[in-house]
Homo-oligomer: A and B are copies of this chain.
């Protein structure tokens, strides 16, 4: 249950999840230097961040290892090389996509792995497959969440039945994912109430992963807290696919739990995130992402627009409307 909270107090159950490598990796094919990852880990530990997501556990039979940095595959040994035995309060997370992960081969027993939490990403039509993955991970000893993506395109009735299935499963947490950055705070509060109701009934925590297409990622994230959403995703400088995510620097500035500290994040940004931008890695709010968010579309066409250095926003808008 939620404790009473004001803007000056805090919910002790709130946890911050750094998703910089995982969602940010979608901007640079996961090609981060080892130094970057090590320093990010140290920054998260120093900032009091609760979880750090190292990337995807992608199936090496589906994706060519030579075409991506190692954090698309998140081998346990690669994580171990960064965190050692991870003698810190920070927990290690890894995302696994339904249908793109050979979990039976690649998940090893928790006792042998530096990973604490597997986050299973799914669309709403593959919930049973997500639950099968979560159950496998659960039996191996991991904490698990199921993150239902592209929720803005799902029917309310389907969301309800998905939540009911997840409530009755072994998962520890369920995530609201605004993949398209199209959810307004008014919608978000309704969704959060729905998720939290199921979460309270079945003792699952609820998380939120927001995208910034309409400059609402931070707003939606903080608006969900008083409703009982506890797991908050954020990334350094908001780095993430397309318009990016809720910025860690905003979220840690807002949260009042004294365990959090913004200074290590600021230091990391000036030393590691600004140089990524200067190197030409692109993410963050811009007009094309606003338009796909507004029209509740996948950001892929806006990502292409941006890659092609196009600036004809009006044409792009009409193109989107034609493809309705």
Q: Which A residues lie at the B interface, using CB under 8 A?
A: 7, 184-187, 212, 214-220, 222-223, 226, 237, 247, 249-250, 253-254, 262-263, 266-267, 269-270, 274, 285, 287, 290-291, 294, 311-314, 317-318
Q: A253-B290, A290-B253 are in contact. Are A247 and B215 (CB under 8 A)?
A: yes
Contact check, B253 vs A266: say whether CB atoms are below 8 A apart.
no
In angstroms, Cα B45 to Cα A138, docked, is 59
Contact check, B215 vs A267: say whether CB atoms are below 8 A apart.
no
Known: A186-B222, A186-B226, A253-B290. 4 other contacts (CB 8 A): A7-B184, A219-B219, A219-B220, A247-B290
User: What does DSSP make chain A's interface, helix, strand, loop or mixed?
Assistant: helix
Question: Least Cβ distance of A39 to chain B in Å?
Answer: 14
* Copies per complex of this chain: 2
Question: Least Cβ distance of A29 to chain B in Å?
Answer: 26
Question: Least Cβ distance of A182 to chain B in Å?
Answer: 10
Contact check, B314 vs A254: say whether CB atoms are below 8 A apart.
no
Among A287, A290, A291: residue with most chain B CB under 10 A? A287
| 23 pairs, A vs B, C-beta closer than 8 Å | A7-B186, A7-B187, A184-B254, A185-B185, A185-B219, A185-B222, A185-B223, A186-B223, A215-B215, A215-B247, A216-B219, A237-B287, A249-B290, A250-B290, A250-B294, A253-B291, A254-B294, A263-B317, A263-B318, A266-B317, A269-B287, A270-B311, A285-B285
In angstroms, Cα B222 to Cα A214, docked, is 12
Contact check, A269 vs B313: say whether CB atoms are below 8 A apart.
yes
